[in-house]
């Protein structure tokens, strides 16, 4: 695996590959890689000739009181995992390389829908930071395909919409949620969960599954379902961010006659904010 810290270095190699007609797959990450990320790399490997991964902890998508400074940075271990998973190029820029003019005057990419609800409601500016950095990464790598995990369902929906609205010639693909044996969705932030909390955090996934089963059984009182699920999570000792039954495409609150439904949830442990989601077709 070749490692690049500059836009220019990566572009030089990718331009040669492109001239040879090779298809380029891209997996953007913030590092602290787990099996979920590696599954994205393997998926990219299957449908592309060249696989590029980026590791960049993007300050622009973190709020002032969020965990940018303590976000786990595990570069050497990540490199080993990427090599083993078959990644060809790693792009690992520093802040100056990505934002040479500084963050304050950086041009932004804004998606005006779906970004101020759910995670966007409790993390103002987060999705603007995501769409801006992903656009920059897309321009740097110019991939044929980019792959994102369904665990960040709202992020995936926003990026799809951005790519469509801005006519980006990139196939946006998704990969299933990777889970621990007990069902906890894999996340780089799971390392913030304490030993005492760990057996209890599956309440988030269990609550989403319970709502899905109720809906499939014909219950359409979505807000009552959300409230019952929230009470269950609070009872387990966690703070709720949201539990919401949505239309899978628009992320609007689900309507009674919606066929594609996604139930999304976020809760706080002592030091982590965990998210999960479940989609059903009726």
Strands of 118-238, DSSP E: 145-149, 171-175
* Residue the block writes with tokens 């955090």: 201
- Closer by beta carbon to ligand PAF, 254 or else 264: 264
Tell me which residues touch ligand PAF (CB under 6 A). 28-30, 58, 61, 130, 133-134, 152, 155
Distance of closest approach, residue 118 Cβ to ligand PAF, in angstroms: 14
Element (H, E) at 50: strand 50-55
Instruction: Return d(Cα 263, Cα 205) in angstroms, integer.
Output: 10
- Closer by beta carbon to ligand PAF, 56 or else 222: 56
**Environment class of 258 (CB within 10 Å of its CB; exposed 0-12, middle 13-18, buried 19+):** buried
Distance of closest approach, residue 206 Cβ to ligand PAF, in angstroms: 24
* Residue the block writes with tokens 């014909």: 218
- Closer by beta carbon to ligand PAF, 28 or else 93: 28
Rounded (5°) CA angle 101-136-132? 80
* Residue the block writes with tokens 């950095």: 133
- Closer by beta carbon to ligand PAF, 100 or else 218: 100
Q: Is 37 a catalytic residue?
A: yes
Phi first, then psi, for residue 171 (nearest 5°) are -80, 120
Distance of closest approach, residue 155 Cβ to ligand PAF, in angstroms: 6
Check 37, 92, 126, 178 and give the catalytic one.
37
User: Strand 24-29 relative to strand 145-149: parallel, antiparallel, unpaired?
Assistant: parallel
- Closer by beta carbon to ligand PAF, 150 or else 261: 150
Distance of closest approach, residue 181 Cβ to ligand PAF, in angstroms: 23
Phi first, then psi, for residue 90 (nearest 5°) are -110, 125
Distance of closest approach, residue 232 Cβ to ligand PAF, in angstroms: 28
Active site (catalytic) residues: 37
């Amino acid at each position: 695996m070749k490692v690049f810290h500059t836009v220019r270095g990566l572009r030089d190699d990718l331009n040669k590959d492109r001239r040879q007609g090779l298809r380029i797959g891209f997996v953007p990450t913030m590092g602290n890689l787990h099996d979920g990320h590696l599954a994205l790399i393997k998926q990219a490997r299957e449908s592309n000739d060249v696989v590029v991964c980026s590791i960049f902890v993007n300050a622009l998508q973190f709020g002032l009181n969020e965990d940018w400074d303590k976000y786990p940075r595990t570069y050497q271990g990540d490199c080993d995992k990427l090599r083993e998973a078959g990644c060809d190029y790693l792009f690992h820029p520093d802040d100056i390389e990505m934002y040479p003019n500084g963050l304050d005057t950086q041009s932004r990419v804004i998606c005006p829908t779906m970004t101020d609800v759910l995670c966007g409601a409790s993390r103002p500016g987060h999705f603007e930071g995501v769409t801006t950095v992903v656009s920059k990464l897309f321009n740097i790598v110019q991939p044929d395909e980019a792959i994102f995990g369904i665990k960040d369902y709202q992020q995936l929906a926003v990026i799809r919409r951005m790519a469509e609205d801005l006519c980006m010639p990139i196939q946006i693909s998704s990969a299933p949620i990777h889970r621990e044996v007990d069902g906890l969705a894999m996340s780089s932030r799971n390392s913030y969960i304490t030993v005492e909390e760990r057996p209890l955090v599956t309440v988030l996934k269990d609550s989403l599954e319970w709502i899905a089963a109720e809906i499939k059984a014909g219950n359409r009182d979505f807000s009552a379902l959300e409230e019952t699920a929230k009470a269950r999570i609070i009872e387990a000792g966690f703070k709720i961010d949201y539990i919401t039954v949505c239309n899978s495409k628009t992320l609007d609150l689900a309507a009674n006659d919606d066929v594609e439904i996604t139930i999304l949830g976020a809760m706080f442990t002592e030091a982590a904010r965990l998210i999960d989601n479940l989609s059903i077709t009726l």
